[in-house]
Amino acid sequence: MRSIERRILSGDIDLASREALEAAFEAIPDCDELLIDMLAVRYVDSTGLSSLIELRRRLRSQCGASVKIAVGDPGVYRVFRVCGLDKIFELDLIEAAAAS
């Protein structure tokens, strides 16, 4: 049976939230898949992206887990795509009208 962990992020994912973000990710148990719900995230910077990339690297080496990210803001989704991160994360854009 596949084990799936889910974490919900909101607000801005940036330098100011880095410590809280890393603390939340530190407690993730071994799993097959991690779903990161970023539907309420409105901004992400390079520090936030770096934290997510490091999390993916750690989970893959620790337990082979895949990381899926659900994004609600088209601007945040665009940042992932422009940086090429849609090629290393399973990334879905779920806009507000579709989520209601």
Spatial neighbors of 13 by CB under 8 A, at least 6 apart, are 21, 38, 41, 43, 44, 45, 48, 51, 52
Count CB-CB contacts under 10 A for residue 41: 23
Q: What is the pLDDT of residue 51?
A: 93
Q: What is the pLDDT of residue 75?
A: 96
Question: Which residues of the chain carry a pLDDT beneath 50?
Answer: 99-100
Torsion of CA 51, 73, 91, 82, to 10 degrees: -70
Q: Which CATH class is domain 4-95?
A: alpha beta
Q: What is the pLDDT of residues 9-27, one digit of tens each?
A: 999 999 999 998 888 888 8
Q: What is the pLDDT of residue 30?
A: 85
> CA-to-CA distance for 55 and 1, rounded, in angstroms?
23
Secondary structure class of 8 (helix, strand, coil): strand
**Model-level pTM?**
0.88
Going from N- to C-terminal start, the domains of the chain cover: 4-95
